[in-house]
A and B are shown apart, each in its own frame.
Chain A
Amino acid sequence: EDQVTQSPEALRLQEGESSSLNCSYTVSGLRGLFWYRQDPGKGPEFLFTLYSAGEEKEKERLKATLTKKESFLHITAPKPEDSATYLCAVQAAGGSEKLVFGKGMKLTVNP
């Protein structure tokens, strides 16, 4: 069964304090790994798709990387507006398009 585990479950940072979020996964053939940002009471906002090990994507202060078993979301010099829950999801190869999500990681950035 496809599975996604995110750690830590919650993280508090000071503004400007860089860190990384971890997403480990098991899937029967990876089609893609997806990162989303979710603000309280709202739908997930698409951030990145990674398709193969070694791939990296960047957007502003966020950088996502992928290995064969894990993905990392690196946050450089975060700002309070980066506070949100970050969700990782995998999509298996072979016709299925369903996303299997982790529980998410709640990031709080204090000014």
Chain B
Amino acid sequence: DAGVTQSPTHLIKTRGQQVTLRCSPKSGHDTVSWYQQALGQGPQFIFQYYEEEERQRGNFPDRFSGHQFPNYSSELNVNALLLGDSALYLCASSPGAGTYEQYFGPGTRLTVT
């Protein structure tokens, strides 16, 4: 059973550019959440997608946007990159329907120079 997968593994971008990160949830899961983890910190919630809609959003600016596809996979887009956006971006999936554990992927390490 494949777990949560994310691509790419690493990414280096320049300030002001745009980036798209991808996530495939664990088999049988229909809910995808995105988190940002700065070095030495715990993950911070960005937003959650369910049934192709953004269900909840954390305290992140509109430069952060996302999408969920009919097969439940998801994308995270970040526009106008800032140096402070450098972090590990984590995708987590959950089966929904009363089960609350979230299972994380390996993450995408984004470096903004």
Contacts and interface: CB of A to CB of B under 8 A. Distances in A.
A31 B55 CA distance: 18
Contacts, number: 63
Contacts of A4: 42
Interface string A39-50: 001111110010
A58 interface: no
A103 interface: yes
Contacts of A34: 101-102
B109 A97 contact: no
A89 B42 contact: yes
Tier of interface size on chain A: 20 to 34
A100 B55 CA distance: 16
Contacts of B90: 43-44
Interface of B: 4, 6, 31, 33, 35, 40-45, 48, 55-56, 58, 88, 90, 92, 94, 100-107, 109
Closest 3 CB pairs of A and B: A101-B42, A43-B104, A98-B45
